[in-house]
Amino acid sequence: MTHGMVCAPQPEAVEAGVLALKSGGNAVDAAIACALVQTAVDPQMCGIAGFGSMHLYLPNRGEHTFIDFHGRAPRATREDMWEHLVQAETEDGFGFILEGYVNDIGYQSITTPGSLMAYAEALSRFGTKSLGDLMEPAIRYCEDGFIVRQHVAYYWNLVESAGRLPHIERLTRFPATAKIYLKPDGNVRKAGETHRNPDMGRTYRRIADDGADSFYRGEIANEIDADMKTNDALLSIEDLNAYRTEPNEPLWGEYRGHRIATNRLPGGGTMVLEMLNILERFDLASMGHDSARYIATLAEAMKIATVDKDAHMGDPRFVDVPLDRLLSKAYAGEMAARIERREKTHVPRYRRTEESKDTTHVCTVDEHGNCVTMTHSLGTPSGVVTEGLGFMYNGCMGVFDPRPGGPDSLAAGKSRFTAMSPTMVFKDDRPVLVIGAPGGTHITMGLLQGILNVIDFGMDALHAVGAPRFCATSDIIDLTNRIPRYVEADLNGMGYETRRTHLSYHFAGVHAIRFTKDGWDGGADPGRDGMALAT
């Protein structure tokens, strides 16, 4: 048995990760077992046709690395192909609404997926178990079914504001998808009912037998390609054949005597470090947690980083990002001075709307000091399932800018910016916090607050991820319902427009494991369905 801890938004997935540890596996085995079950029991949050970023710290091997597996625009993509269809930009600058929703749902919304390749690569390089063995729990949940949890039911029935399609459209528009997700009476299952997906189970058995290569170059790839050609998709078998993950060294920063390791662009780690650099100039603890001054200070740092993201951050293979300037202490000082002068940063938007956030996360540690934090996703799910294969494809084309000339504009082979930022915090060269989150562009803002809660306010993992949060990715400061109204009134008195959600837990779903002299403590975001479990 290997002792360790697993933390994720789904109890079934956490249990699979812990069982991998109990059977002698390491933190990498546990993370992949957890991720595979997540694809079965949270099938719109992630999947083998998704994308993500995996952060691995393996001290006994002398390895500290990322496996980045961002989705890539297919080769058939043209920079100006949707320019004439633009209706609006999402409020947080993380997507666009087009006529006919061609970038948001359906076959043209699919980027080249990387998740399955990344899982297999992590196991072959760093794991102790085979992909086939670790797929067994996921296969059982596909074949025997899982009990629909509250968050799954909530997602299936969510009607978003500001023009995005109701989520039920992603389950009903295409016959192969509707066959899986609708009951005979035409309704989706409710919380507490059992959902089965035997087609996905059969596909997983094929992958367990034939390996991940079958998805990219084998029989499954041929079936995917035939479906894509029939339905005028951008994705082709040439894209699948050419796909490779990207190994990356961590991007490092410092905050109050701690070293912060996070991911590189097109991931969101740059935003996390930029905000921490700015906020290090302030005595946040003396302001009081979630006071009006504290919220206003963080909100301005969030807005500054958002403006810089929109203006500069994208796939570094296509965009020349001024990283040294954005992460310099001098630039942080200039931005902190603006905040001290009470200047309010404006976040420009083109006909703003709100954005969907469909992602999941896993954190694992083991007794050997190995740590993994991985965020993986479908983006906004495409709604597309190839007949007989069972899994849903990502819908990541929706975040590219359909207007040519920008850092996140469309280009063949390009990865979009994503806020995914699986992060580790080190003190004296030892990890003290492993943290990550799902939640679209809210990810970086949720992670920021979780890190500050641990470093500046001394919270354990559970309190750090459960404390009331807020978010500012536009000129509006969004508040969870547990932020007191008298604090909101003070913010309004300072000239800020605020917006209160009915949700008590919101703005990413932060999950974390903290290291102490007494061992690990874990925290699963109370707004999701998950848990932290040790063995």
Condensed to tens digits (0 to 9), the pLDDT of residues 7-65 reads 999 999 999 999 999 999 999 999 999 999 999 999 999 999 999 999 999 999 999 99
Residue of 353, 359, 373, 480 marked catalytic: 359
Angle at 499 between CA 485 and CA 451, to 5 degrees: 80
For the chain, the helix, strand and coil percentages under 3-state DSSP, each to the nearest 5: 40, 20, 40
- 349 contacts 475 by C-beta, under 8 angstroms: no
Question: Which residue has tokens 């629909």?
Answer: 148
36 and 180 together in one domain: yes
Q: 366, 399, 432 — which closes off a domain? A: 399
Q: Do 65 and 208 belong to one domain?
A: yes
Amino acid identity, position 90: T
Give the pLDDT mean for 210-218: 97
**Same-domain check for residues 185 and 292:** no
Residues of the domain holding 19: 4-72+85-244+358-399
The stretch 369-383 carries a mean pLDDT of 96
Give the strand order in the sheet containing 423-427.
251-255, 258-262, 423-427, 430-436, 511-516, 519-524
Question: Per residue in 316-327, pLDDT tens?
Answer: 999 999 999 999
Using only C-alpha atoms, what is the Rg of the chain? 22
If asked whether residues 441 and 390 sit together in one domain, one would say: no
Residue 334: which residues within 8 A CB-CB, separation 6 or more? none
Tokens of 294: 């504290």
Query: Could you identify the residue written with the tokens 């809210």?
Result: 442
Between 207 and 160, the more confident residue is 207
CATH number at residue 512: 1.10.246.130
Give the Cα-Cα-Cα angle 38, 43, 49 (nearest 5 degrees). 90
Tell me, yes or no, whether 531 lies in a domain: no
- 259, 249 contact by CB (below 8 A): no
From the centroid of its chain, how far is CA 145? 25
In 3D space, the residue among 510, 2, 14 whose CA is nearest the CA of residue 272 turns out to be 510
Asked if residues 478 and 441 have their Cβ atoms less than 8 Å apart, the reply is no
* Predicted confidence band of residue 355 (pLDDT cuts 50, 70, 90): very low
Does pTM top 0.85 for this prediction? yes
Residues 394/51, Cβ–Cβ less than 8 Å: yes
Q: Are residues 195 and 299 in the same domain?
A: no
Q: Are residues 31 and 372 in contact, defined by beta-carbon separation less than 8 angstroms?
A: yes
177 in the same domain as 290: no
pLDDT at 93 exceeding the cut of 80: no
- Nearby residues of 518 by Cβ (< 8 Å), 6 or more positions away: none
Residue 528 lies in a domain: no
Instruction: Determine the Cα–Cα distance for residues 348 and 351; give it in Å rounded to an integer.
Output: 10
What confidence tens digit (pLDDT) does each residue in 497-515 have?
999 999 999 999 999 999 9
Identify whether residues 327 and 425 lie together within a single domain. yes
Query: Which H or E run contains 87?
Result: strand 86-89
Provide the pairing of β-strand 476-479 with 497-500: parallel
For the cut 90, the answer to whether the pLDDT of residue 91 exceeds it is no
| Cα distances (angstroms) measured from residue 238 to each of 74, 215, 387 | 9, 12, 21
Is residue 532 pLDDT above 50, yes or no? yes
Over residues 429-481, the pLDDT tens digits come to 999 999 999 998 899 999 999 999 999 999 999 999 999 999 999 999 999 99
Distance CA 474, CA 485 (A): 21
- 529 in any annotated domain: no
Specify whether 253 is located in the same domain as 227: no
| Residue 254 and residue 260 in contact, taking contact as beta carbons nearer than 8 Å | yes
Tokens 């949890």 belong to residue: 149
Confidence of residue 87 (pLDDT cuts 50, 70, 90): confident
Please check whether residue 527 lies inside any domain of the structure.
no
Return the H-helix or E-strand segment holding 82. Answer: none
Give the number of other Cβ atoms within 10 Å of residue 317's Cβ: 13
CA dihedral 65, 3, 438, 105 (to 10 degrees): 90
Q: Is residue 393 part of a domain?
A: yes
**pLDDT tens per residue across span 416-431:** 999 999 999 999 999 9
Question: Six-digit token pair at 201?
Answer: 């189970």
251 phi, psi to nearest 5 deg: -95, 125
Residue 415: inside a domain, yes or no?
A: no
Residue 1 structure tokens: 């048995």
**Helical H segments across 231-288, by residue range:** 237-242, 269-279, 284-287
- Over residues 263-316, the pLDDT tens digits come to 999 999 999 999 999 999 999 999 999 999 999 999 999 999 999 999 999 999
Q: What is the dihedral of CA 293, 294, 295, 299, to 10 degrees?
A: 100
Q: How confident is the model at residue 160 (pLDDT cuts 50, 70, 90)?
A: low
Note whether 59 and 144 are same-domain residues: yes
Closest CA to 309 of 438, 443, 422, 426: 443
Q: What is the pLDDT of residues 225-275, one digit of tens each?
A: 999 999 999 999 999 999 999 999 999 999 999 999 999 999 999 999 999
Residues 291 and 150 placed together within one structural domain of the fold: no
What's the token pair of residue 60? 């006994």
194 is catalytic: no
Amino acid at 303: K
* Rounded Cα distance, 256 and 285, in Å: 12
The yes-or-no verdict on residue 94 having pLDDT over 80 is: no
Average pLDDT, the chain: 95
pLDDT band at 201; cut points 50, 70, 90: very high
d(C-alpha 457, C-alpha 468), whole Å: 13
Residue 448 exposure: Cα atoms within 13 Å on the Cβ side: 33
Dump the DSSP string for 109-158: GPPBP-HHHHHHHHHHHH-SS-HHHHHHHHHHHHHH-EEPPHHHHHHHT-
533 is a domain residue? no
290 and 427 assigned to the same domain:
yes
pLDDT of residue 92: 59
Distances, alpha carbon 178 to alpha carbons 170, 183, 192, 218, 224, in Å: 9, 9, 20, 27, 18
Overall domain count for the chain:
2
What pLDDT, on a 0 to 100 scale, did the predictor assign at position 167?
A: 86
pLDDT at 219 > cutoff 50: yes
Rounded Cα distance, 366 and 372, in Å: 9
- Cβ pair 439, 422 in contact under 8 A: no
Residue 101 lies in a domain: yes
Distance in angstroms (rounded) separating the CA atoms of residues 19 and 118: 21
Domain shared by 205 and 341, yes or no: no
Residue with tokens 């961590």: 250
- Cα separation, 12 vs 28, whole angstroms: 17
